[in-house]
Structure 1
Amino acid sequence: MRFSVLAGCAVLAFLSLVGLIWSSWFWLGVLLFGALVALGVSDLVQPRHSILRNYPIIGHMRFMFEGIRPEIRQYLIESDQDEEPFSRDKRSLVYQRAKGVEDKRPFGTRQRVYDSGYEWLTHSAAPKHIANHDFRVTIGGPDCKQPYDASIYNISAMSFGALSANAILALNTGARMGGFAHDTGEGGISRYHRQGGGDIIYEVGSGYFGCRTPEGRFDVDKFREQAADPQVKMIELKLSQGAKPGHGGVLPASKISPEIAEARGVPMGQDCVSPASHPEFSTPIELMQFIKTLRDNASGKPVGFKLCIGHRREFMCMVKAMLETDIVPDFIVVDGKEGGTGAAPLEFANHMGMPLVEGLVFAHNTLRGAGLRDRLKLGASAKLVTAFDIAKSLALGADWANSARGFMFSIGCIQAQACHTNHCPVGVATQDKTRQRALDVPAKSERVFRFHQNTLKALAEMTGAAGLTHPNGFMPHHLLMRESDRDMVTGEEVYPYLPEGFLLRGDGDDFGYSMRWNRARAEAFEPFDASYV
């Protein structure tokens, strides 16, 4: 069906050529349909537009409609339907930065500055010039023998299997070109991660893909072999993800290709199950002991975990276990529930888990209250596409940011929302070889690199405009937001940094922290009183 228009034009061009036997008028058909055939062939081989490679000739209709999009956008804004055009603006911004074209817009803000909830950063009357935008953060605590000097902006977790081979290869190649990291997702390290040559964060999920026994349990020898790869820079234990926290998954046997089976270490012909919880631990102390096992077998590389905050007391249970065992991970990544690039049940995507801002602030202040914040680094992940998104996360306590959505846009994702159907029109989220050929790896890897570079350049400009010399200088007081028509509040008022060690000292309970801290225990995730969580 995707090539039917091209095939039809070829047939009509041939018939027109035959028709010249009877009438010279058929030259019109030869010229018209011949030109369309030439256009279709050109579409198939050009590297710039994935849509045209998968939908020759008819794909041009998309670009024709894009030409009138500014008018449509303005109509939606004026009709009070601003969510969609604003999200489209973000996608357009990524495309422009990835392509290296002008990303500036005339006629002021696209946001309605008088709406409640509008946010902005304060700027300085004495802005700074920042020449080097290669911002770095060193990840690795006292027990880490190979700290990783990470970029402040990296590719978030997306598995091979969910993404196509070409998508993984383009992302990882772009990461190598830009000197930043690519999280594997829980699907394991594929041949395409290795072929790209970029820095890898190896994510270990509940299925232990790449380091599992035939029964689906953790295999320490296989893990040690994976972690020893010089391309692997950090190990991330996934407890939950923003798209569907607390929800397991099944990759049906019919979707498992030999390459997916190779990366995950699973047999062909069987469903591949990711349990909702880890079989190797069930208590906070056991979790810390498992982290120690990973650390002892990770060649001295940083080891941490990722989660979407659920019961706040349960996160405090983990922190108490750190204090009791003196096993402190090198990093924690807080995943907001608004993230998630793959398919998820609608109820989970909309209503399960804590959004990034609340989760990040809670984790940051809990670690400060327990006196552990200086011993580990904190990452943030969830729809962090623009320089402002990164700056805001850093102001609220993060040390670095991850993005899946932004980098998917950079390789051509158009949010067709067909990720789970295997019919992705641009070859990003499909295992169909004929569809994923639309994604030209050399062209898209350049776009990954440029998107990262141009986003950090924009972050450098915002940082300098705020009078700072490095983005890690952003604090809550740099963030302001409109609360109502005539009132504004600072981030310091809404999301303050709580005092170091306040939980250990039992200082006050203005924000409800001490109440939950007193109910948390390192021995179990269940509270003393099971009727209250």
Structure 2
Amino acid sequence: MTSKKFFASLVARQIIWFVAITALIAGLYFVKFHGLAWEVLLLPIALMVIIAVDTFQPRHSIRRNYPLIGRMRYLFESVRPEFRQYFFEGELDGKPFNRRQRSIVYQRAKNEKQTVSFGMQDDPNRIGYEWAAHSVYPKKADESTFRITIGNTQCLQPYSASILNISAMSYGALSKTAVTSLNKGAKMGGFAHNTGEGGISDYHRQGGDLIWQIGTGYFGCRNQDGTFSNELFAERAAYPEVKMIELKLSQGAKPGHGGLLPAEKNTPEIAKIRNIEPYTTVHSPSAHTAFSNAIELLYFINQLRQLSNGKPVGFKICIGRQDEFVTIVEAMMETRIFPDFITVDGAEGGTGAAPMEFIDYMGMALSDALVFVSATLRQYGIREQIKILAAGKVISAFDMAKALALGADACYSARGMMFSLGCIQALQCDSGKCPVGIATQDKALYKGIDITDKSVRVANFHKNTMKALAEFIGACGFENPKEITPGVFYRRTSGNSNQSFAELYFKEKETNSKKEMSNF
């Protein structure tokens, strides 16, 4: 009974020390009396050192209470994403993109089999399931015609854009081999490549059309004090590959949040591209310094248009406070300055790094935002002046068709294009250790990207997605993306009820219009 009480009173730390000391004593005994080589003591001594370090370190209580063994928690935690993805994840599991979504990009990028066998794996009876109504009179759509002209009457150099383009990703966030592959792929496929707010690098200038994004840091077009530089902007906007200018107001994954470029990442190469001092910490403020209200925003857009010799200029926004967007539209009416396009970034959009509160709880979802923006522009009678680009978790032809039905004219894809490069959704974009060399500046990692092969995959993904879109909308009875209507898309809203997108998003507006006509 005494021995039982003694062992019951021991805590895990004491038991681990007891076992380790016993092992060391046993090793000493066999070395001294049985002639074993002294090297056998290395293991118990090493374990004793680790146990001692864990016991007396102050930062991790689990290692203090469970020396040596407690370290296994951190090991298992570090490999948890890989184990989940490779051993436990189902076809429709995985966040933010499930295995089926990732697989279709891989297959299209590699020009491999793009079909699924045996039947659907999703549950069509679950609440939230979305689907499209096909027609008994399908049409044949031609994907080669899936282009739009961006540029209103105030634009001197309209641009013919594909309805699927590479979304904003900066050099610095992505590696030089990744950016080069994307741009070469854009050239092959005849679609545009958004530079991201990090400026135009040589890796962006590989022949593909560019959409130059200007953020709050004004990288590539800033004075030494961080303010906007007319001269530098005009110089770079004159590059022949720069087809459009996109002013970034906010980003879906972190709207209202600025950024920070640490001094150690601010290499001479990055500094030259961004027109900043190397090896200094550079802040991207949460708000622009070139304007502070809607009227000034429109005048700044007009300034960019003039400095770029009439190239299409627009802005990117994640909808938050709806009254602020309405104010911007009212400013358009007052100044008679109309942007050529508006990029609507949904809250589900991606980023390399952002606070959890911003990623999960800030901003409006893409579907709601598209409907709101398009309806607001129509309400003020200027929808035809302004093209709407949709961004936010666009991967498949269904995603594109859905966005087009809700008001978009064209789409962006960022993570889809990353998957075409070989991204495995390791969720390490902010670590600098991206295992496939996409989101890293580690030469040992980014050298793993074969530009010749990956650029072809980017072009293939675009081509095969356009082909899939043509087949999809053709089955719904449309010959052109412009014909897609919200009435053919449905969402299950209860156990025995489906509602069309027309009912979900436009019914109230239609009712109000009928009331107005009745009153008239």
| TM-score (normalised: structure 2) | 0.80
Deviations, residues 349-387 of structure 1 (Å, cap 9, x unaligned): 000111111111111111111111111100100000000
1:170 aligns with 2:167: no
Partner of 1:23: none
Matches within 5 A, 1:119-518: 119-194=130-205, 196-496=206-506
* Alpha-carbon offset, residue 507 of structure 1: 5.4
CA distance in 2, matches of 1:147, 1:440: 34
Q: Quick check: 1:172–1:182 contact (8 Å CA) kept in 2?
A: yes
Give 3-state SS (helix, strand or coil) of 2:98's partner: helix
Give 3-state SS (helix, strand or coil) of 2:506's partner: coil
Flag the 1:282–1:498 CA change in 2: closer, same or farther, 3 A.
farther
Partner of 1:34: none
Task: Give the partner amino acid of 2:172.
Answer: G
CA distance in 2, matches of 1:240, 1:472: 27
Deviations, residues 261-317 of structure 1 (Å, cap 9, x unaligned): 121111102112111000111111010011110011112110000010010000001
CA distance in 1, matches of 2:181, 2:487: 38
Give the ranges of 4+ consecutive aligned residues of structure 1 lying more than 3 Å apart after TM superposition: 71-74, 82-86, 131-134, 497-500
Give 3-state SS (helix, strand or coil) of 2:471's partner: helix
Partner of 2:40: none
* Alpha-carbon offset, residue 498 of structure 1: 7.8
CA distance in 2, matches of 1:134, 1:87: 31
Partner of 1:92: 103
Q: Quick check: 1:159–1:186 contact (8 Å CA) kept in 2?
A: yes
CA distance in 2, matches of 1:83, 1:112: 16
Partner of 1:523: none
* Alpha-carbon offset, residue 177 of structure 1: 0.3
CA distance in 1, matches of 2:376, 2:324: 12
* Alpha-carbon offset, residue 111 of structure 1: 1.4
Task: Give the partner amino acid of 2:210.
Answer: I
CA distance in 2, matches of 1:72, 1:125: 40
Q: Quick check: 1:410–1:451 contact (8 Å CA) kept in 2?
A: yes
CA distance in 2, matches of 1:271, 1:393: 39
Give the gaps of 5 or more residues in structure 1.
1-61, 509-533
* Alpha-carbon offset, residue 235 of structure 1: 0.2
Q: Quick check: 1:155–1:182 contact (8 Å CA) kept in 2?
A: yes
CA distance in 1, matches of 2:203, 2:506: 43
Q: Quick check: 1:365–1:497 contact (8 Å CA) kept in 2?
A: no
CA distance in 1, matches of 2:269, 2:120: 46
Flag the 1:298–1:117 CA change in 2: closer, same or farther, 3 A.
same
Deviations, residues 78-129 of structure 1 (Å, cap 9, x unaligned): xxxx455971210111001000100111121121111011111111111112
Matches within 5 A, 1:44-59: none
CA distance in 2, matches of 1:442, 1:341: 26
Flag the 1:227–1:373 CA change in 2: closer, same or farther, 3 A.
same
CA distance in 1, matches of 2:266, 2:97: 37
Deviations, residues 294-344 of structure 1 (Å, cap 9, x unaligned): 011112110000010010000001000000000010000000011113111
* Alpha-carbon offset, residue 497 of structure 1: 8.0
CA distance in 1, matches of 2:503, 2:468: 27
Per mean C-alpha deviation after superposition, the further-off stretch among 148-157 and 462-471 is: 462-471
Q: Quick check: 1:190–1:259 contact (8 Å CA) kept in 2?
A: no
* Alpha-carbon offset, residue 149 of structure 1: 0.3
Deviations, residues 488-529 of structure 1 (Å, cap 9, x unaligned): 1111011118879x99xx959xxxxxxxxxxxxxxxxxxxxx
Give 3-state SS (helix, strand or coil) of 1:102's partner: coil
* Alpha-carbon offset, residue 73 of structure 1: 4.7
* Alpha-carbon offset, residue 130 of structure 1: 2.7
Per mean C-alpha deviation after superposition, the further-off stretch among 464-473 and 490-499 is: 490-499
Share of identical aligned residues, percent? 53
Q: Quick check: 2:210–2:242 contact (8 Å CA) kept in 1?
A: yes
Give 3-state SS (helix, strand or coil) of 1:244's partner: coil
Give 3-state SS (helix, strand or coil) of 1:230's partner: coil
CA distance in 1, matches of 2:494, 2:278: 57
CA distance in 2, matches of 1:366, 1:85: 30
CA distance in 2, matches of 1:119, 1:497: 18
Structure with greater Cα Rg: 2
CA distance in 2, matches of 1:273, 1:260: 14
Q: Quick check: 1:134–1:456 contact (8 Å CA) kept in 2?
A: no
Partner of 1:40: none
Flag the 1:487–1:83 CA change in 2: closer, same or farther, 3 A.
farther
Q: Quick check: 2:142–2:479 contact (8 Å CA) kept in 1?
A: no
* Alpha-carbon offset, residue 133 of structure 1: 3.7
CA distance in 2, matches of 1:441, 1:411: 9
Per mean C-alpha deviation after superposition, the further-off stretch among 229-238 and 337-346 is: 337-346
CA distance in 2, matches of 1:129, 1:316: 39
Q: Quick check: 1:99–1:447 contact (8 Å CA) kept in 2?
A: yes
Q: Quick check: 2:142–2:480 contact (8 Å CA) kept in 1?
A: no
Deviations, residues 159-188 of structure 1 (Å, cap 9, x unaligned): 100000000000000000000000000000
Give 3-state SS (helix, strand or coil) of 2:114's partner: coil
CA distance in 1, matches of 2:121, 2:483: 27
Give 3-state SS (helix, strand or coil) of 1:495's partner: helix
Flag the 1:137–1:335 CA change in 2: closer, same or farther, 3 A.
same
CA distance in 2, matches of 1:148, 1:211: 22
Flag the 1:264–1:84 CA change in 2: closer, same or farther, 3 A.
closer
* Alpha-carbon offset, residue 219 of structure 1: 0.3
